[in-house]
């Protein structure tokens, strides 16, 4: 059966959670492979909206195993809040498993994150201040604490040693308002909720399931353009958000990966700092933000909005090995008489389809093609052929430009607002 991968092709917030929620019942296991509570997957079921930060989006489907993989970094406080919310809605957590090798976010990691970002002034990278970066730094520096460590007899000693290291580092930064003692007390209490979950050796468990003929959907968090190696560095996250990250984040060999479903909005957004070639800073950008309710699921920050970017998408399709596309938020373009698409860039007077090594150091002029808008409501349309012809023309155009078939079209946040293209 193997592993299928679902991930975002832009700067995140592409609507991955909804697609995972729809696809989950076709798989035995949904596994999150990277990132931390800086991600937020919004899922609308009936009249209720759920925002997940750590738990895989398949949790709302019965009899599906959900795995938080070793590539994820976990804040016990955030996790406990998610668990309590789900319990309050009678969502079963019996099939939620946590990798013993997943690293823990300490309160002092969040303190360091906030102090570091504050010290950067105008050079801020747009951190969510969730402690993600410092946690991955300790991971690669071989100082981190992992989920399995909380069951060790010397855990508190290990915790104190790492905290002391952070306290010494904090002396290098101007003081900020952060009640470390209070946060630490809550963190220790939240460990009990983590201890109550079933922990696993992720690589053995998933490979045993594959050998038994089970199918796995690997769920990415942030978008591909935030990948630590291949994104718009340094304005990126601290993990590998692309397909290759599945192997590292779950302990699965590359030859186990089958299909890769890439998610992109019908336009483009970005949260935080960093280059964004097609960004619209005027009325059109504001209209996209208003119609699309473009505010971060984790931070509430307004998202920067712009037109869809073909060179950027071709790049992430290439590095991820995308075999199929899902286009989300097509309905947000309902009222636009004209829709622009960046087909190429002009850099230093030369046209190109390639992303430069350092996006922010180049003066990039997107070269747009204007497509006609459909100017009609897509509410209630569940069949691809029932879409307005102009909308179908837009999707066909995107398929030709990107060279990958569009198999899913989302026309709203609810489960029912999803068109499966035959």
> Six-digit token pair at 247?
């192997």
Evaluate whether 85 touches 55 at the Cβ level (below 8 Å). Answer: no
Distance CA 52, CA 41 (A): 5
Residue 13 backbone class (left: φ over 0; alpha: ψ -120 to 50; beta: rest): left
Handedness of CA 15, 320, 210, 145 (dihedral sign): negative
And the tokens for 232?
């718009």
- How does DSSP classify residue 379? T
Active-site option among 4, 21, 28, 41 = 41
**Tokens 């060790």, residue?**
152
Q: Where are the beta strands (DSSP E) in 209-318?
A: 216-219, 257-265, 268-270, 304-306, 308-309
Nearest-CA neighbor of 357 among 347, 366, 365, 367? 347
Two tokens, residue 250 = 């779950």
| Secondary structure of residue 176 in the 3-state scheme | coil
Please tell me the distance from the alpha carbon of residue 355 to that of residue 344, in angstroms, as a whole number.
10
- The CA distance from 8 to 226, in Å, is 10
Instruction: For residues 322 and 339, give the distance between their C-alpha atoms in angstroms, rounded to a whole number.
Output: 25
- Indicate the pairing of strand 268-270 with strand 304-306: antiparallel
Instruction: For CA atoms 166, 78, 304, 316, give the dihedral sign.
Output: positive
Alpha helices in 8-154 (DSSP H): 16-23, 76-88, 107-119, 132-140
Work out the number of other CB atoms within 10 angstroms of the CB of residue 242: 27
Alpha helices in 212-353 (DSSP H): 244-250, 283-292, 310-320
CA dist 314 and 274 (Å) reads 19
Instruction: Confirm if 184 and 107 have CB atoms less than 8 A apart.
Output: yes
13 tagged catalytic: yes
* Contact criterion met (CB below 8 Å) for 19 and 261: yes
Q: Is 227 a catalytic residue?
A: no
User: Rounded distance, CA 422 to CA 409, Å?
Assistant: 11
**Which positions are catalytic?**
13, 41
């Amino acid at each position: 059966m193997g592993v299928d991968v679902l991930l975002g092709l832009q700067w995140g917030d592409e609507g991955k959670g909804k697609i995972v929620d729809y696809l989950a019942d076709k798989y035995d296991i949904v596994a999150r492979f990277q990132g931390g509570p800086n991600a937020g997957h919004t899922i609308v079921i009936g009249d209720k909206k759920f925002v997940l930060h750590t738990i895989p989006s398949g949790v709302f489907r019965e009899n599906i195993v959900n795995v938080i993989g070793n590539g994820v970094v976990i804040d016990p406080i955030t996790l406990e809040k998610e668990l309590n919310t789900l319990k309050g809605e009678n969502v079963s957590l019996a099939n939620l498993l946590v990798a013993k090798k997943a690293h823990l976010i300490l309160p002092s990691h969040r303190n360091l994150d906030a102090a570091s970002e504050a010290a950067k002034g105008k050079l801020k990278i747009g951190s969510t201040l969730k402690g993600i970066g410092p946690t991955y730094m300790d991971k690669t520096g071989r100082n981190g604490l992992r989920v399995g460590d909380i069951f060790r007899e010397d855990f508190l000693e290990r915790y104190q040693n790492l905290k002391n290291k952070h306290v010494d580092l904090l002396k290098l930064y101007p003081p900020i308002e952060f009640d470390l003692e209070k946060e630490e007390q809550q963190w220790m209490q939240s460990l009990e909720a983590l201890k109550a979950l079933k922990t696993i050796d992720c690589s053995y468990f998933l490979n045993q399931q594959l050998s038994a003929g089970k199918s796995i959907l690997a769920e990415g968090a942030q978008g591909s353009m935030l990948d630590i190696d291949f994104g718009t560095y340094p304005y990126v996250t601290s993990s590998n958000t692309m397909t290759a990250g599945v192997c590292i984040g779950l302990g699965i060999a590359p030859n186990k990966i089958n299909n890769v479903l890439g998610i992109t909005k019908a336009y483009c957004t970005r949260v935080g700092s960093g280059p964004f070639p097609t960004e619209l800073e005027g009325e059109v950008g504001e209209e996209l933000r208003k119609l699309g309710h473009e505010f971060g699921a984790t931070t509430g920050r307004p998202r920067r909005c712009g037109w869809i970017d073909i060179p950027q998408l071709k790049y992430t399709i290439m590095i991820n090995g995308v075999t199929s596309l899902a286009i989300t938020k097509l309905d947000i373009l309902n009222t636009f008489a004209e829709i622009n698409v960046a087909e190429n860039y002009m850099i230093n007077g030369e046209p190109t389809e390639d992303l430069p090594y350092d996006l922010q150091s180049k003066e990039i002029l997107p070269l747009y093609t204007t497509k006609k808008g459909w100017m009609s409501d897509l509410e209630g349309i569940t069949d691809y052929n029932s879409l307005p012809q102009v909308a179908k023309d837009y999707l066909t155009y995107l398929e030709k430009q990107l060279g990958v078939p569009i198999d899913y079209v989302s026309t709203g946040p609810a489960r029912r607002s999803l068109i499966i293209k035959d």
